[in-house]
Chains A and B, each alone.
Chain A
């Protein structure tokens, strides 16, 4: 809850990042921070660079300029598998679950790694199955046969298998029905209580304002507004300007 007012370095710091896709200049010097245990919302219209910001942190695209650091340590341009080991988990917008693997096998892609004891393994599985009982029910079912909402849960559960310090969540509620949307909201809250940081990209403004402590709003590849989530209201002029019509 603290506004990372302490002198410590934030968990993730993005500083002046420029990213291109070929010749298309997508990020024009994006800077933001996520404190330890903090949920930070990243809002903006389609195509303003929100997902590209997550991908730039996750090493899926390489910034041509600028820096990304984790706990003060430079991680710019490291490959995604190294970043995953350092504690950054990523849940992409299209979820990317393995459709032909079972729910359990999907989870094991995050579990079968060095240093996971039998106890940790059990504890992690127990935890996600407590969060997502439906995944326990369907543990032997192929990922591709799950509904959209269940796939989203599986993607988040799989990210949790990594015991991450931070989860980069890209539009977790997209295409979900209202009941699922509020469930995703509860999960974000639960993760926050556990002390996991979240950088949340969303189009759902009320959910983002509720779930986050701080908000960044992007436009045209830049951060245009930054404030405490409590300082914003859905009817705010700022929200209308950057997210409305």
Chain B
């Protein structure tokens, strides 16, 4: 039971005899016979589609869907317009591959070209690649872009997302390169310490905007400090926040990276998401991954192709700048459809509402003694103290269908988006009040 073969047993027998064999077993005559596992594969029996659906649904039902979420920390529940899933579920987009044959892949190629343009507009940078795996790997790849023979060290703000920090750390370790954390002061990157840490071995500095604690960093000043010491400035940004916040381009960043999930991707227990990467014109040829460019065919028609492939592994092999040979094409398309249907106003509205609701939430939490532990402007996340053990508070909220903020060592990291209605926030406050000190 269960396979997607198209040939019948009779056809198979005919095909076998065409190639001069009598049984399927003979196909593996070239392999050591004692290694063949025959019939002993320990897997369950296959199932027809209806039974598979039931099994997968049963498993899905073991998860708890929270109708109301006040948790972000790198994955955000925003409203996803209906057309987004419709477009990216189209069979051809699902089942095609990397557009090697441009003539029959103009659809995928153009969609990436449009995505690249949107990422440039959003970040204020000159050039974007076709995307990489996620925000964390984009950051790690960006760190590698900055290194040269003289400068091998990467500095990373301790106010970055923990998974981003850990991923950069792993990549740096693998390349035998140094990586150090720039300390946090009052929830923000300590720019004084950064200035002290920068030396002539520092290749690049990664700073998150807004940072992990939701605070808006003085990225422009950080950029000045970094550039003064001859290092490159990598800004990791929330793409939706870029609809309102100063862009990496305006902050003179050399590379902008980030997690594209807020642009129309489901939470999906962590993925697939989207790593975007954009840089300044001078660093174009250091960008890893696929890049789509515009050209013409012999008749003068506009056409798109994968380009600047001389950077890549299939040509450069061990001299390539990265081993990446794919992108998150369907996720890049998701982001592009999201941005296209939201438009500039819709993006600003979603960003603005997220920010406004987070500020309303912060004000209401303050009223009941859950005060912010950091000063400074924030986007749609912030940290408060907790008046009760966070675990107990979360349990109570969970029983009422609410996923509360993320408990951190010294507080709770809250998030609001346009999905959190005022009445949800007011109800949250009432529920928190019910948890006795």
Query: Are A and B physically bound partners?
Result: no
Measured CB to CB, the residues of A under 8 A from B are none
